[in-house]
Structure 1
Amino acid sequence: MTSDRSIVVDSLGVGLATGACGVSFGAISTASGLSVLQTCLISLLVFTGASQFAFVGIVASGGNPLTGALTATLLGSRNLFYGVSLAPRLDLDPLARLASAHVVIDESTAMAVTRDTRRQARLGFYWTGISIFVLWNLTTFVGALAGDAIGDPRTYGLDAAVGAAFLGLLWPRLATWKGRIVALVGAAVALGLVPVTSAGLPIVLGGGVAVLLGMLWRTRAAS
Protein backbone atom coordinates (compact mmCIF):
# COMPACT_ATOMS: atom_id res chain seq x y z
CA MET A 1 0.00 0.00 0.00
CA THR A 2 1.19 3.51 -0.78
CA SER A 3 2.49 5.34 2.30
CA ASP A 4 0.94 8.55 3.59
CA ARG A 5 4.29 10.30 3.12
CA SER A 6 4.52 9.43 -0.57
CA ILE A 7 0.97 10.68 -1.14
CA VAL A 8 1.82 14.02 0.46
CA VAL A 9 5.04 14.30 -1.57
CA ASP A 10 3.23 13.45 -4.82
CA SER A 11 0.44 15.90 -4.00
CA LEU A 12 2.88 18.71 -3.33
CA GLY A 13 4.66 17.91 -6.61
CA VAL A 14 1.38 18.23 -8.49
CA GLY A 15 0.61 21.42 -6.59
CA LEU A 16 3.94 22.96 -7.48
CA ALA A 17 3.71 22.07 -11.18
CA THR A 18 0.10 23.21 -11.57
CA GLY A 19 0.18 26.24 -9.29
CA ALA A 20 3.12 27.75 -11.16
CA CYS A 21 0.89 28.16 -14.22
CA GLY A 22 -0.91 30.97 -12.43
CA VAL A 23 1.88 33.28 -13.62
CA SER A 24 0.61 32.86 -17.19
CA PHE A 25 -2.96 33.65 -16.23
CA GLY A 26 -1.97 36.72 -14.22
CA ALA A 27 0.20 38.16 -16.99
CA ILE A 28 -2.31 37.48 -19.76
CA SER A 29 -5.25 38.80 -17.75
CA THR A 30 -3.80 42.21 -16.87
CA ALA A 31 -2.14 42.60 -20.27
CA SER A 32 -5.59 42.03 -21.79
CA GLY A 33 -7.17 44.89 -19.87
CA LEU A 34 -8.20 43.59 -16.45
CA SER A 35 -6.78 45.22 -13.33
CA VAL A 36 -4.48 43.46 -10.89
CA LEU A 37 -7.30 43.36 -8.34
CA GLN A 38 -9.81 41.91 -10.83
CA THR A 39 -7.29 39.29 -11.92
CA CYS A 40 -6.52 38.20 -8.37
CA LEU A 41 -10.22 38.07 -7.46
CA ILE A 42 -10.90 35.79 -10.42
CA SER A 43 -8.24 33.35 -9.22
CA LEU A 44 -9.53 33.51 -5.65
CA LEU A 45 -13.22 33.09 -6.46
CA VAL A 46 -13.28 31.05 -9.67
CA PHE A 47 -10.17 28.90 -9.20
CA THR A 48 -10.39 26.66 -12.23
CA GLY A 49 -7.75 27.35 -14.84
CA ALA A 50 -9.58 26.58 -18.08
CA SER A 51 -12.59 28.69 -17.04
CA GLN A 52 -10.33 31.60 -16.10
CA PHE A 53 -8.46 31.57 -19.41
CA ALA A 54 -11.74 31.29 -21.34
CA PHE A 55 -13.20 34.31 -19.54
CA VAL A 56 -10.12 36.43 -20.15
CA GLY A 57 -9.95 35.37 -23.79
CA ILE A 58 -13.54 36.44 -24.44
CA VAL A 59 -13.17 39.77 -22.67
CA ALA A 60 -9.87 40.48 -24.44
CA SER A 61 -11.49 39.83 -27.82
CA GLY A 62 -14.24 42.37 -27.13
CA GLY A 63 -16.91 39.94 -25.97
CA ASN A 64 -19.51 40.68 -23.32
CA PRO A 65 -18.29 39.84 -19.79
CA LEU A 66 -21.60 38.03 -19.16
CA THR A 67 -20.87 35.81 -22.15
CA GLY A 68 -17.42 35.18 -20.71
CA ALA A 69 -18.92 34.30 -17.34
CA LEU A 70 -21.38 31.89 -18.98
CA THR A 71 -18.55 30.19 -20.84
CA ALA A 72 -16.49 29.91 -17.66
CA THR A 73 -19.46 28.41 -15.82
CA LEU A 74 -20.03 25.90 -18.60
CA LEU A 75 -16.40 24.78 -18.52
CA GLY A 76 -16.36 24.63 -14.73
CA SER A 77 -19.53 22.51 -14.54
CA ARG A 78 -17.40 19.36 -14.80
CA ASN A 79 -16.36 19.98 -11.19
CA LEU A 80 -19.94 19.23 -10.16
CA PHE A 81 -19.55 15.68 -11.48
CA TYR A 82 -16.18 15.39 -9.74
CA GLY A 83 -17.90 16.30 -6.49
CA VAL A 84 -20.48 13.56 -6.95
CA SER A 85 -17.75 10.92 -7.37
CA LEU A 86 -15.69 12.30 -4.48
CA ALA A 87 -18.52 12.52 -1.92
CA PRO A 88 -18.61 8.81 -0.94
CA ARG A 89 -14.81 8.52 -0.98
CA LEU A 90 -14.17 11.48 1.31
CA ASP A 91 -17.30 10.98 3.44
CA LEU A 92 -17.38 14.49 4.88
CA ASP A 93 -20.06 16.09 7.03
CA PRO A 94 -22.17 18.78 5.30
CA LEU A 95 -20.18 21.74 6.63
CA ALA A 96 -16.81 20.23 5.69
CA ARG A 97 -18.19 19.29 2.28
CA LEU A 98 -19.26 22.89 1.66
CA ALA A 99 -15.88 24.22 2.77
CA SER A 100 -14.02 21.71 0.56
CA ALA A 101 -16.04 22.31 -2.61
CA HIS A 102 -13.82 25.20 -3.72
CA VAL A 103 -10.80 22.93 -4.20
CA VAL A 104 -12.64 20.26 -6.20
CA ILE A 105 -10.60 20.46 -9.41
CA ASP A 106 -9.10 18.02 -11.90
CA GLU A 107 -5.87 17.48 -9.99
CA SER A 108 -7.30 17.11 -6.48
CA THR A 109 -9.91 14.69 -7.79
CA ALA A 110 -7.31 12.59 -9.60
CA MET A 111 -5.13 12.39 -6.47
CA ALA A 112 -8.10 11.24 -4.35
CA VAL A 113 -10.10 8.77 -6.41
CA THR A 114 -7.25 6.28 -6.88
CA ARG A 115 -6.58 5.78 -3.15
CA ASP A 116 -7.31 2.58 -1.24
CA THR A 117 -8.57 4.12 1.99
CA ARG A 118 -10.67 7.12 3.00
CA ARG A 119 -7.75 8.56 4.97
CA GLN A 120 -5.45 8.47 1.97
CA ALA A 121 -8.16 9.83 -0.33
CA ARG A 122 -8.48 12.81 1.99
CA LEU A 123 -4.71 13.25 2.13
CA GLY A 124 -4.43 13.30 -1.65
CA PHE A 125 -7.41 15.60 -2.06
CA TYR A 126 -6.51 18.23 0.52
CA TRP A 127 -2.75 18.36 0.04
CA THR A 128 -3.21 18.68 -3.72
CA GLY A 129 -6.15 21.08 -3.72
CA ILE A 130 -4.86 23.43 -1.03
CA SER A 131 -1.28 23.54 -2.35
CA ILE A 132 -2.52 24.40 -5.84
CA PHE A 133 -4.92 27.03 -4.49
CA VAL A 134 -2.23 28.79 -2.45
CA LEU A 135 0.45 28.69 -5.15
CA TRP A 136 -1.93 29.52 -8.02
CA ASN A 137 -3.09 32.67 -6.27
CA LEU A 138 0.42 33.74 -5.33
CA THR A 139 1.72 33.26 -8.86
CA THR A 140 -1.37 34.95 -10.31
CA PHE A 141 -0.46 38.06 -8.33
CA VAL A 142 3.15 37.93 -9.56
CA GLY A 143 2.04 37.44 -13.15
CA ALA A 144 -0.57 40.18 -12.85
CA LEU A 145 2.07 42.70 -11.79
CA ALA A 146 4.25 41.65 -14.73
CA GLY A 147 1.37 41.83 -17.21
CA ASP A 148 0.34 45.24 -15.95
CA ALA A 149 3.86 46.48 -16.70
CA ILE A 150 3.92 44.83 -20.15
CA GLY A 151 0.90 46.72 -21.53
CA ASP A 152 -0.73 45.84 -24.86
CA PRO A 153 -0.73 42.03 -25.17
CA ARG A 154 -0.47 42.17 -28.97
CA THR A 155 2.96 43.75 -28.72
CA TYR A 156 4.39 40.52 -27.29
CA GLY A 157 1.98 38.02 -28.79
CA LEU A 158 0.10 37.50 -25.53
CA ASP A 159 -3.23 37.69 -27.35
CA ALA A 160 -2.31 34.35 -28.95
CA ALA A 161 -1.07 33.06 -25.59
CA VAL A 162 -4.65 32.96 -24.26
CA GLY A 163 -5.59 30.28 -26.76
CA ALA A 164 -2.30 28.44 -26.32
CA ALA A 165 -2.63 28.35 -22.53
CA PHE A 166 -6.24 27.20 -22.78
CA LEU A 167 -5.26 24.42 -25.19
CA GLY A 168 -2.40 23.40 -22.92
CA LEU A 169 -4.84 22.93 -20.03
CA LEU A 170 -7.38 21.13 -22.19
CA TRP A 171 -5.12 18.69 -24.05
CA PRO A 172 -4.30 16.33 -21.13
CA ARG A 173 -8.06 15.79 -20.61
CA LEU A 174 -8.45 14.37 -24.13
CA ALA A 175 -7.05 10.95 -23.28
CA THR A 176 -9.76 8.89 -25.03
CA TRP A 177 -10.97 8.84 -28.61
CA LYS A 178 -14.48 9.78 -27.44
CA GLY A 179 -13.09 12.84 -25.67
CA ARG A 180 -11.24 13.88 -28.81
CA ILE A 181 -14.35 13.49 -30.97
CA VAL A 182 -16.45 15.55 -28.53
CA ALA A 183 -13.77 18.25 -28.52
CA LEU A 184 -13.50 18.29 -32.31
CA VAL A 185 -17.28 18.55 -32.76
CA GLY A 186 -17.45 21.42 -30.26
CA ALA A 187 -14.53 23.18 -31.95
CA ALA A 188 -16.11 22.75 -35.40
CA VAL A 189 -19.39 24.25 -34.22
CA ALA A 190 -17.58 27.17 -32.58
CA LEU A 191 -15.47 27.88 -35.67
CA GLY A 192 -18.52 27.74 -37.92
CA LEU A 193 -20.32 30.30 -35.77
CA VAL A 194 -17.45 32.81 -35.64
CA PRO A 195 -18.49 34.73 -38.81
CA VAL A 196 -22.16 35.00 -37.80
CA THR A 197 -22.15 35.61 -34.03
CA SER A 198 -20.65 38.13 -31.64
CA ALA A 199 -17.42 37.54 -29.74
CA GLY A 200 -17.75 34.93 -27.04
CA LEU A 201 -20.91 33.21 -28.29
CA PRO A 202 -19.14 30.63 -30.51
CA ILE A 203 -17.33 29.05 -27.56
CA VAL A 204 -20.49 29.05 -25.45
CA LEU A 205 -22.57 27.34 -28.16
CA GLY A 206 -19.77 25.02 -29.22
CA GLY A 207 -19.20 24.06 -25.60
CA GLY A 208 -22.91 23.44 -25.15
CA VAL A 209 -22.97 21.07 -28.11
CA ALA A 210 -19.91 19.25 -26.71
CA VAL A 211 -21.58 18.86 -23.30
CA LEU A 212 -24.79 17.50 -24.85
CA LEU A 213 -22.85 15.06 -27.01
CA GLY A 214 -20.82 13.87 -24.02
CA MET A 215 -23.98 13.39 -21.92
CA LEU A 216 -25.66 11.48 -24.76
CA TRP A 217 -22.66 9.18 -25.06
CA ARG A 218 -22.58 8.60 -21.29
CA THR A 219 -26.31 7.84 -21.20
CA ARG A 220 -26.05 5.28 -23.98
CA ALA A 221 -23.04 3.63 -22.36
CA ALA A 222 -24.93 3.30 -19.06
CA SER A 223 -28.07 1.83 -20.66
Structure 2
Amino acid sequence: MALVGASFGALATGSGLPLVKVVALSAILYAGGAQFLVVAAVAAGAAPAAVVIGGALLNARHLPYGLVLADVLAGRWWTRVIGAHLMTDEATAFTTAELARHGDVAKARRTFFIAGTTLFVGWNVGTLIGAVGGDLVGDPNAFGLDAAFPAALLALTAASMRARLDRRVALLGAAVAVVLTPFLPAGVGVLAGLLGLIAAGRDPVRASETS
Protein backbone atom coordinates (compact mmCIF):
# COMPACT_ATOMS: atom_id res chain seq x y z
CA MET A 1 0.00 0.00 0.00
CA ALA A 2 2.83 2.39 0.83
CA LEU A 3 4.46 1.65 -2.53
CA VAL A 4 1.28 2.44 -4.46
CA GLY A 5 0.81 5.58 -2.37
CA ALA A 6 4.37 6.62 -3.22
CA SER A 7 3.60 6.08 -6.90
CA PHE A 8 0.54 8.29 -6.57
CA GLY A 9 2.51 11.00 -4.78
CA ALA A 10 5.17 11.01 -7.49
CA LEU A 11 2.59 11.06 -10.29
CA ALA A 12 0.55 13.83 -8.68
CA THR A 13 3.48 16.17 -8.08
CA GLY A 14 4.82 15.35 -11.54
CA SER A 15 1.47 16.50 -12.93
CA GLY A 16 1.92 19.90 -11.31
CA LEU A 17 -0.18 19.52 -8.15
CA PRO A 18 1.32 21.25 -5.11
CA LEU A 19 2.45 19.10 -2.19
CA VAL A 20 -0.35 20.31 0.10
CA LYS A 21 -3.06 19.25 -2.34
CA VAL A 22 -1.43 15.89 -2.97
CA VAL A 23 -1.28 15.11 0.76
CA ALA A 24 -4.85 16.38 1.24
CA LEU A 25 -6.12 14.09 -1.53
CA SER A 26 -4.72 11.04 0.23
CA ALA A 27 -5.83 12.08 3.71
CA ILE A 28 -9.31 13.40 2.89
CA LEU A 29 -10.35 11.57 -0.27
CA TYR A 30 -8.38 8.35 0.35
CA ALA A 31 -9.82 6.56 -2.64
CA GLY A 32 -6.92 4.78 -4.33
CA GLY A 33 -7.81 4.41 -7.99
CA ALA A 34 -10.10 7.44 -7.88
CA GLN A 35 -7.13 9.57 -6.80
CA PHE A 36 -5.17 8.48 -9.88
CA LEU A 37 -8.27 9.30 -11.93
CA VAL A 38 -8.50 12.78 -10.40
CA VAL A 39 -4.86 13.55 -11.15
CA ALA A 40 -5.09 12.27 -14.74
CA ALA A 41 -8.34 14.13 -15.37
CA VAL A 42 -7.06 17.40 -13.92
CA ALA A 43 -3.83 17.12 -15.90
CA ALA A 44 -5.90 16.59 -19.07
CA GLY A 45 -8.04 19.64 -18.32
CA ALA A 46 -11.28 17.73 -17.68
CA ALA A 47 -14.30 19.56 -16.32
CA PRO A 48 -14.86 19.29 -12.54
CA ALA A 49 -18.21 17.55 -13.11
CA ALA A 50 -16.51 14.85 -15.21
CA VAL A 51 -13.93 14.29 -12.48
CA VAL A 52 -16.61 13.92 -9.81
CA ILE A 53 -18.76 11.57 -11.90
CA GLY A 54 -15.77 9.45 -12.86
CA GLY A 55 -14.64 9.14 -9.25
CA ALA A 56 -18.15 8.28 -8.12
CA LEU A 57 -18.46 5.51 -10.70
CA LEU A 58 -15.06 4.10 -9.86
CA ASN A 59 -15.84 3.95 -6.14
CA ALA A 60 -19.47 2.87 -6.42
CA ARG A 61 -18.32 -0.63 -5.47
CA HIS A 62 -18.24 0.66 -1.88
CA LEU A 63 -22.04 0.51 -1.83
CA PRO A 64 -22.12 -3.31 -1.68
CA TYR A 65 -19.09 -3.19 0.64
CA GLY A 66 -21.16 -1.11 3.04
CA LEU A 67 -23.97 -3.65 2.95
CA VAL A 68 -21.57 -6.51 3.67
CA LEU A 69 -19.95 -4.64 6.57
CA ALA A 70 -23.13 -3.13 8.01
CA ASP A 71 -23.12 -5.34 11.12
CA VAL A 72 -19.36 -4.99 11.58
CA LEU A 73 -19.53 -1.19 11.57
CA ALA A 74 -22.76 -0.92 13.55
CA GLY A 75 -22.56 1.33 16.59
CA ARG A 76 -22.11 5.01 17.24
CA TRP A 77 -22.35 7.42 14.34
CA TRP A 78 -18.70 8.46 14.53
CA THR A 79 -17.61 4.81 14.39
CA ARG A 80 -19.59 4.37 11.19
CA VAL A 81 -18.14 7.57 9.70
CA ILE A 82 -14.56 6.52 10.46
CA GLY A 83 -15.29 3.02 9.20
CA ALA A 84 -16.69 4.38 5.94
CA HIS A 85 -13.52 6.44 5.45
CA LEU A 86 -11.25 3.45 6.10
CA MET A 87 -13.26 1.12 3.85
CA THR A 88 -11.08 -0.20 1.05
CA ASP A 89 -10.94 -3.35 -1.06
CA GLU A 90 -8.21 -4.78 1.13
CA ALA A 91 -9.79 -3.91 4.49
CA THR A 92 -13.09 -5.38 3.31
CA ALA A 93 -11.35 -8.56 2.12
CA PHE A 94 -9.53 -9.00 5.44
CA THR A 95 -12.78 -8.51 7.35
CA THR A 96 -14.93 -10.83 5.27
CA ALA A 97 -12.21 -13.50 5.48
CA GLU A 98 -12.30 -13.18 9.27
CA LEU A 99 -16.09 -13.50 9.26
CA ALA A 100 -15.86 -16.57 7.02
CA ARG A 101 -13.41 -18.25 9.40
CA HIS A 102 -15.02 -17.49 12.76
CA GLY A 103 -18.31 -15.67 12.24
CA ASP A 104 -17.45 -13.47 15.22
CA VAL A 105 -18.56 -9.88 14.51
CA ALA A 106 -16.47 -8.44 17.36
CA LYS A 107 -13.28 -10.05 16.00
CA ALA A 108 -14.20 -8.96 12.50
CA ARG A 109 -14.63 -5.37 13.75
CA ARG A 110 -11.16 -5.41 15.30
CA THR A 111 -9.73 -6.87 12.11
CA PHE A 112 -11.38 -4.17 10.03
CA PHE A 113 -10.09 -1.26 12.09
CA ILE A 114 -6.58 -2.70 12.46
CA ALA A 115 -6.35 -3.39 8.73
CA GLY A 116 -8.05 -0.14 7.77
CA THR A 117 -5.84 2.02 9.98
CA THR A 118 -2.65 0.26 8.88
CA LEU A 119 -3.55 0.67 5.22
CA PHE A 120 -4.53 4.32 5.70
CA VAL A 121 -1.24 5.16 7.41
CA GLY A 122 0.77 3.23 4.82
CA TRP A 123 -0.97 4.96 1.93
CA ASN A 124 -0.48 8.44 3.35
CA VAL A 125 3.14 7.89 4.36
CA GLY A 126 3.80 6.51 0.89
CA THR A 127 2.09 9.50 -0.71
CA LEU A 128 4.29 11.91 1.21
CA ILE A 129 7.45 9.98 0.32
CA GLY A 130 6.48 9.86 -3.35
CA ALA A 131 5.49 13.51 -3.45
CA VAL A 132 8.80 14.57 -1.92
CA GLY A 133 10.96 12.00 -3.72
CA GLY A 134 9.37 12.62 -7.09
CA ASP A 135 10.92 10.69 -9.95
CA LEU A 136 12.83 8.34 -7.64
CA VAL A 137 9.73 6.13 -7.40
CA GLY A 138 9.36 5.55 -11.13
CA ASP A 139 6.51 3.95 -13.02
CA PRO A 140 4.18 1.97 -10.69
CA ASN A 141 3.43 -0.51 -13.47
CA ALA A 142 7.09 -1.54 -13.43
CA PHE A 143 6.52 -3.14 -10.01
CA GLY A 144 3.73 -5.38 -11.28
CA LEU A 145 1.21 -3.83 -8.89
CA ASP A 146 -1.60 -4.24 -11.42
CA ALA A 147 -1.35 -8.00 -10.89
CA ALA A 148 -0.20 -8.08 -7.27
CA PHE A 149 -3.26 -6.42 -5.78
CA PRO A 150 -5.90 -8.60 -7.51
CA ALA A 151 -3.87 -11.67 -6.55
CA ALA A 152 -3.75 -10.56 -2.91
CA LEU A 153 -7.50 -9.91 -2.85
CA LEU A 154 -8.17 -13.33 -4.37
CA ALA A 155 -6.05 -14.96 -1.67
CA LEU A 156 -7.89 -13.05 1.06
CA THR A 157 -11.34 -13.96 -0.22
CA ALA A 158 -10.56 -17.60 -1.02
CA ALA A 159 -11.64 -18.72 2.45
CA SER A 160 -15.14 -17.37 1.87
CA MET A 161 -15.62 -19.33 -1.38
CA ARG A 162 -15.64 -22.86 -0.05
CA ALA A 163 -19.31 -23.45 -0.84
CA ARG A 164 -20.22 -24.32 -4.42
CA LEU A 165 -22.80 -21.53 -4.56
CA ASP A 166 -20.23 -18.93 -3.48
CA ARG A 167 -17.78 -20.11 -6.13
CA ARG A 168 -20.45 -20.00 -8.80
CA VAL A 169 -21.39 -16.42 -7.88
CA ALA A 170 -17.73 -15.33 -7.81
CA LEU A 171 -16.87 -16.93 -11.15
CA LEU A 172 -19.91 -15.51 -12.94
CA GLY A 173 -19.28 -12.05 -11.49
CA ALA A 174 -15.61 -12.17 -12.49
CA ALA A 175 -16.50 -13.28 -16.01
CA VAL A 176 -19.00 -10.45 -16.45
CA ALA A 177 -16.50 -7.87 -15.16
CA VAL A 178 -13.67 -9.12 -17.39
CA VAL A 179 -15.84 -9.13 -20.51
CA LEU A 180 -17.45 -5.72 -19.97
CA THR A 181 -14.58 -3.69 -18.47
CA PRO A 182 -12.90 -2.89 -21.85
CA PHE A 183 -16.19 -1.45 -23.18
CA LEU A 184 -17.46 0.53 -20.18
CA PRO A 185 -16.27 3.59 -18.25
CA ALA A 186 -13.82 2.97 -15.40
CA GLY A 187 -15.45 1.14 -12.51
CA VAL A 188 -18.70 0.27 -14.28
CA GLY A 189 -17.43 -3.12 -15.42
CA VAL A 190 -16.64 -4.07 -11.84
CA LEU A 191 -20.12 -2.99 -10.76
CA ALA A 192 -21.60 -5.07 -13.58
CA GLY A 193 -19.87 -8.02 -11.95
CA LEU A 194 -22.62 -7.86 -9.33
CA LEU A 195 -24.73 -9.63 -11.94
CA GLY A 196 -22.94 -12.70 -10.66
CA LEU A 197 -25.47 -12.64 -7.84
CA ILE A 198 -28.06 -14.02 -10.24
CA ALA A 199 -26.25 -17.32 -9.81
CA ALA A 200 -27.57 -17.31 -6.25
CA GLY A 201 -31.15 -17.02 -7.48
CA ARG A 202 -31.59 -20.76 -7.36
CA ASP A 203 -29.14 -23.13 -5.70
CA PRO A 204 -29.72 -26.65 -7.04
CA VAL A 205 -28.29 -28.26 -3.90
CA ARG A 206 -30.52 -26.29 -1.53
CA ALA A 207 -33.50 -26.82 -3.82
CA SER A 208 -33.00 -30.60 -3.73
CA GLU A 209 -32.68 -30.48 0.05
CA THR A 210 -36.04 -28.74 0.43
CA SER A 211 -37.90 -30.88 -2.12
Structure 1 residue corresponding to 2:127, chosen from 114, 121, 140: 140
Deviation at 1:58, TM superposition (A): 2.9
Q: 1:183 aligns with which of 155, 158, 178?
A: 178
Question: With structure 2 as the length reference, what TM-score do the two structures score?
Answer: 0.70
Whether the aligned pair in 1 keeps the contact of 2:8 and 2:130 (CA below 8 Å) is yes
Instruction: Show structure 2 runs of 5+ residues with no match.
Output: 155-169, 203-211
Answering whether residue 56 of structure 2 is matched by residue 73 of structure 1, we say yes
Question: What amino acid does structure 2 have at the position aligned with 1:32?
Answer: S
Structure 2 counterpart of 1:222: 201
Q: Kindly provide the amino acid, as one letter, of the partner of residue 96 in structure 2.
A: V
1:25 and 1:61 mapped to 2: Cα distance?
16
2:173–2:195 CA contact under 8 A, matched in 1 = no
CA contact (8 A) 2:10 2:131 kept: yes
Residue identity matched to 2:129:
V
Question: Alignment partner of 1:69: what SS?
Answer: helix
Range 71-80 or range 84-93, more displaced: 84-93
* Aligned partners of 2:38 and 2:51 also within 8 Å: yes
Q: 1:164 to 1:74 in 2, by over 3 A?
A: farther
The CA deviation at 1:118 is 2.2
Structure 1 residue 68: Cα displacement: 2.7
Q: Which residue of 2 aligns with 1:93?
A: 76
What does residue range 51-62 of structure 1 map to in structure 2 within 5 Å?
A: 51-62=34-45
- Could you give the per-residue CA deviations for residues 124-172 of structure 1, whole angstroms, max 9, x where no partner exists? 111110111112112101111222xx4xxxxx985xx579988447644
Question: Pairwise mapping of residues 1-223 of structure 1 onto structure 2 (< 5 A)?
Answer: 18-115=1-98, 116=102, 117-147=104-134, 150=135, 158=139, 161=140, 167-168=146-147, 171-172=150-151, 176=171, 178-187=173-182, 189=183, 203-204=185-186, 207-208=187-188, 210=189, 213-219=192-198, 221-222=200-201
User: 1:221: how far off?
Assistant: 3.9
* 1:50-98 deviation digits (Å, cap 9, x = unpaired): 2212222333344334323322221111122112111113432333212
Identical positions, percent:
30
Provide Cα deviations, 1:26-66, integer angstroms capped at 9, x if missing partner.
00111122221121111112212122122223333443343
**Aligned length, in residue pairs:** 182
Deviation at 1:22, TM superposition (A): 0.9
CA 78–213 in structure 1, closer or farther in 2 if over 3 Å, else same: closer
Aligned CA-pair RMSD = 3.2
Contact map agreement 1:40 1:141 (CA 8 A) in 2:
yes
